Structure 1
Amino acid sequence: MILTSEALESLRGQLIVSCQAYPGEPMRDPRTTGQVAASAVIGGAAAVRVQGLSDVQHTRSAVEVPVIGLWKDGHDGVFITPTLRHALAVANAGAHVVAIDGTRRRRPDGLTLAQTVAAIHAESHALVMADCGSFDDAAAAVHAGADLVGTTLSGYTGERPKTSGPDLDLLGRIAAADFGVPLIAEGRIHTPAQARQALDAGAFAVVVGTAITHPATITGWFAEALK
C-alpha cells in the first residue's frame, strides 16, 4: 500500500504509537511487536512506528494503519536508519514511511541527506521522515526533500538541552516557520497532557512510545514513586 497524500492528511491531530523493545528484553520479538502495535491501534493509534526489518514485516501483517519503520544500527552518532542501504531495506520490508536520521551530521555512507532522500524516493514508494535535533536540522531536512520532520532527536545531538518533557519551544519554532510538511512531535512525551501540549504547540501529529509500550520503564516510574 502506498501512503497517499489523503492518507497522510488523515494523521493530522492523531496519535502515533512507537512500539519498540530493547535488545535482550522479553518483549524483543517481532511477533510481540506486531501484537503490541495491533493493541495500540485498538486503543486509537492512527499509525505506528517500529524498529527492525522483521518488526516492520510482522507489523504490516498485524495492522491496517500506516507503519513508520526504522532500523537502529549502533548507539551513538548517526544510528537511526543511518545509510541508504538501511533505508531501502526498511522500505522493502513494507514500511509506508522510512524514518531516518535527519540531522546535519555526516552520514556513515558519505551520502548527503538530500542524496539519501532522493534515492529512497526513486527506488521505493516510501515517504521519508527526518528525525531532527534542532530547528536548523528541520530546515535542512525540508530542503533535502523530507516528507515529514520530527523532533525525535532534540536533546540528543548537543544542539539543544534535553528537556524533561517534549521540547515545546522547538516545536513552536518549527511550526511557526511553516515549512509545508507535517511536523511530528516525538521524544519524552509521557502523559496525555504533554501530548496535548505538543499538539497545541503546532505539531501535526504526536508520537508516544515509552509511556505506552515499554512496561519496564512504566513499572519503574511507579516503583520509584512508592519508595
Structure 2
Amino acid sequence: MIEILKSNLIISCQAPSDSPLHDPKIIAAIAKACINQGAKGLRIDSPSHIQAVKQLLPDIPVIGLWKQMRLNSSVYITPRFADAVAVSEAGADIIAIDATQRSRPDGEKLAEIITQIKEKLGKPVMADIDTIENAIAAEKAGADFIGTTLYGYTETTQNLIPPSFEFIEKLVNTIHKPIICEGGVKTPQEVIKALDLGCFSVVVGTAITGIDLLAQKFVHEIEIR
C-alpha cells in the first residue's frame, strides 16, 4: 500500500478545531473528494477523523497523527507513545510524530517512541523534522520516512519559509530514508520540483483543503485595501 505513495500526491485533510468542517464525516468526505481527483494518500489528524476516513476509504494509505495542544510542550504532533497507539488503533497505515529534539510532555525519548511504534504497533514512522540535524537523528532512531513538516514552524526555524528547495536538496543528499516534502507547498509546480529533487512524495494541505484559511486570506485583502 505504501508504495502507492511513491512519486505521488498526498493531501492533508484537516480543519481548525473551531471550524464547522472539523467533523469526522466532513473530513472523510473531503478526503474522498481528493482521492476521486487522483490523490494517492492522505494525512489525517486525530483518531476519530482517521477512523472515519478509513471506513470510507479502506484501501487508501493514511498518514495518521494526533495534535495535542494542551500538554505544556511545544511538541504537539503525536507527542507520546500513547497518542501513537490511539492513531494506530484508528487505522493509520503510517504514524507521523514530531521528531525534533525538543522535550516531550512525558519525558519520553524520540528513539524509544519510534522503537515502540515499530515493534509494538507494527507501523512505519514518518518523522516530522525541522533541521538536517534532527533528520539525521530521526533516521538513526529508526524512522522510515523523513518529512519536512516542521521546517519553518519551530523555535529554531521560525524565521525560515517553507518549502525550501535548498533544504530539501540537502536533505535528499544526506538522508538515506525516503523524504516526504510537506509544509508551505502552494502550487503544482512546487510539487513537481520537490519530486524532481528526489522526494518520495509530497503532502499538500492548506493550498487544497484549507477552506477556512483561504477564505480568511481573501477577506483580509479586501479589508485592508
TM-score, scaled relative to structure 2: 0.92
RMSD: 1.6
Aligned-partner SS, 2:5: coil
Q: Are 2:43 and 1:46 aligned?
A: no
Matching residue of 1:87:
84
Show structure 1 runs of 5+ residues with no match: 1-6
Aligned-partner SS, 1:152: coil
Residue 151 of structure 2 contacts residue 162 of structure 2 at CA under 8 Å; is this kept in 1? Answer: no
- Deviation at 1:123? 1.5
Q: Are 2:188 and 1:192 aligned?
A: yes
Please give the per-residue CA displacement for 1:104-129, whole angstroms capped at 9, x wherever unaligned. Answer: 11222222111101111121122111
Mapping for residues 204-223 of structure 1, pairs under 5 Å = 204-223=200-219
Aligned-partner SS, 2:32: helix
Amino acid of the structure 1 residue aligned with 2:27: T
Mapping for residues 100-119 of structure 1, pairs under 5 Å = 100-119=97-116
Residue 166 of structure 1 contacts residue 189 of structure 1 at CA under 8 Å; is this kept in 2? Answer: yes
Matching residue of 1:21:
15
Mean CA deviation greater in 158-167 or 210-219: 158-167
Q: 1:9 aligns with which of 3, 8, 12?
A: 3
Amino acid of the structure 2 residue aligned with 1:49: R
- Deviation at 1:146? 0.5
Matching residue of 1:4:
none
Q: 1:70 aligns with which of 65, 86, 89?
A: 65
Cα distance in 2 for residues equivalent to 1:161 and 1:192: 25
TM-score, scaled relative to structure 1: 0.91
- Deviation at 1:142? 0.5
Aligned-partner SS, 1:199: helix
Q: 1:220/1:193 Cα in 2 relative to 1: closer, same or farther (>3 Å)?
A: farther
Mapping for residues 45-194 of structure 1, pairs under 5 Å = 45-63=39-57, 64-74=59-69, 77-177=74-174, 179-194=175-190
Residue 84 of structure 1 contacts residue 109 of structure 1 at CA under 8 Å; is this kept in 2? Answer: no
Cα distance in 1 for residues equivalent to 2:3 and 2:111: 24
Residue 130 of structure 2 contacts residue 152 of structure 2 at CA under 8 Å; is this kept in 1? Answer: yes
Provide the identity percentage: 39
Please give the per-residue CA displacement for 1:149-186, whole angstroms capped at 9, x wherever unaligned. Answer: 10000011232354444121221111011x32210000
Cα distance in 2 for residues equivalent to 1:133 and 1:222: 29
- Deviation at 1:80? 0.5
Residue 148 of structure 1 contacts residue 181 of structure 1 at CA under 8 Å; is this kept in 2? Answer: yes
Amino acid of the structure 2 residue aligned with 1:67: V
- Deviation at 1:222? 3.8
